[in-house]
Amino acid sequence: MVSLDELALGISELVESYAEDVIKEMEKVLDETADKVLAYIQSKAPKSGQAYGFAESFVAVPEGEGINKRIAIYSSTKGRLTHLLEFGFTHRGGKFVGPRPFMRPAYDAFAPDMVEKIKSIIERGGSE
């Protein structure tokens, strides 16, 4: 016969194993999605004639770990230009330069699939 303490310990171990598997798989999906978003932004952002131009200035920087992990994607050297190109702007002389969105379309293209994959991971317990 199994005591309640042994049963509780067994259940606790199973839950811990489940959580570890889920977190590993979720981190993997997050990393893959960040790579796709970064590649999309670098391919769609305006190019410049410089050796290290605007599109190439984008980086993906992971922050935290486990369930608190997030990945920030931003222009490491030309961040002050990003919103102007994404949303458009008006020159001081009055000339309007239209928006050239590249960040929001990347999010729209890859985030829904990431969310569905994460839901699937949670449902199946993280093991493939």
- The answer to whether residue 5 sits within a structural domain is no
CB atoms within 10 A of CB 23: 17
Question: Average pLDDT, stretch 15-38?
Answer: 92
Query: Is there a domain that residue 71 lies in?
Result: yes
Q: What is the mean pLDDT of residues 106-125?
A: 91
Tell whether 11 is covered by a domain: no
Q: What secondary structure letter does DSSP report for 50?
A: S
Residue numbers of the domain that contains 96: 16-124
pLDDT band, very low/low/confident/very high, at 19 (cuts 50, 70, 90)? confident
Give the DSSP H or E segment for 57. none
Token pair of 48 as six digits: 């410049």
Report pLDDT digits (tens) over 71-93.
999 999 888 889 988 999 998 89
Arithmetic mean of pLDDT over the chain: 89
Q: Is residue 3 part of a domain?
A: no
For residue 75, being part of any structural domain is answered with yes
pTM of model > 0.85: no
Count of domains for the chain: 1
Q: What is the pLDDT of residue 3?
A: 86
The residue type found at 64 is: G
Residue 58 pLDDT greater than 90, yes or no: yes
